[in-house]
Amino acid sequence: MSNDSKYQPPKVWVWEKPNGGEFASINRPTAGSRVEQELPLGRHPLQLYSMGTPNGIKVTIMLEELLALGHSGAEYDAWLIKISEGAQFSSGFVELNPNSKIPVLLDTSESKPIRVFESGAILLYLAEKFSAFIPKDRATRTEALNWLFWQMGSAPYLGGGFGHFYAYAPMKIEYAIDRFSMEVKRQLDVLDKHLADNEYLSGSEYTVADIAVFPWYGGLVKGWLYGAGEFLSVHEYTNVLRWADAIHARPAVKRGRMVNQMRGELSEQLHERHEASDFDTQTADKLLSR
């Protein structure tokens, strides 16, 4: 491995300027709002402020699954937060999520509106509220939570580690790409070995764990993330592929992946979702131009 870096960290790090890379212009080492701006409010019980990234679509898949089960209380307005333009730093957004990251949910159906941030917390909140996609018996429920929390702890190595250095960083650093490729392939192998003996992550039931893991690791083996399918030889993970295909075939998953989506085929982007009928092609075309 080449070692061509001459950089020596100073005694004290100071932020001087954007350092290049895809999101450099919005990154700062401080928290808090940057502009005074309220968030819009729709008429449904649940207000979602998000974007169609893997963390965002976990929640829209969950909401579409709940609606498909007949839970009308899961009707939602999905507002698009353009993170590359810094919309997560508005005062309204920061009030709901001091961490300034999508997704964030506001439940207006409770006596006092409840804010929920962190996609794992949102999935668990919705699962408990509607008693759905979370197993009832303690052992299987715990197994679902094991994998839900596994996803929350593991995906930053995939997104913030591998994805960042492979696709977004302004220079290719062999050490960083090697380190995170190794870890991501190890994680895929963890899933592959587990899914060799289990239909879904917690056993025979499709749960919040599958909904959380699918957009990241399902997306990776389907070739949707970072154009890295060939690089990581994802075809080797046949059990993950079998599981990802089964989840991808679900109509609610297809709808959930479209909501707040700004990438891919135009016919698969629904920038905002306010009614079930927004998925109709004609309406979707109109909403795209908003």
The residue ranges that bind ligand GSH (CB under 6 A) are: 26, 53, 55, 83, 88, 100-103, 118-119
Neighbours of 132 (CB within 10 A): 17
Which tokens is 109 given? 């159906």
Q: How far is the CB of 102 from ligand GSH (least distance, A)?
A: 4
Q: How far is the CB of 152 from ligand GSH (least distance, A)?
A: 6
Q: How far is the CB of 190 from ligand GSH (least distance, A)?
A: 19
CA-CA distance, 232 to 180, in Å (whole number)? 11
Neighbours of 208 (CB within 10 A): 28
CB-based contacts of 99: which residues, under 8 Å, 6+ apart? 31, 117, 118
CA-CA distance, 114 to 119, in Å (whole number)? 15
Q: How far is the CB of 110 from ligand GSH (least distance, A)?
A: 21
Residue 104 · residue 93 · CB < 8 Å: yes
> Closer to ligand GSH at the Cβ: 118 or 183?
118
CA-CA distance, 67 to 242, in Å (whole number)? 25
Q: How far is the CB of 31 from ligand GSH (least distance, A)?
A: 11
Q: How far is the CB of 5 from ligand GSH (least distance, A)?
A: 25
Residue 37 · residue 90 · CB < 8 Å: yes
Which tokens is 219 given? 């997306």
Which tokens is 92 given? 């309204």
CA-CA distance, 197 to 4, in Å (whole number)? 45
Q: How far is the CB of 197 from ligand GSH (least distance, A)?
A: 28
Beta bridge partners of 46: 76, 107
> Closer to ligand GSH at the Cβ: 27 or 238?
27
CB-based contacts of 43: which residues, under 8 Å, 6+ apart? 77
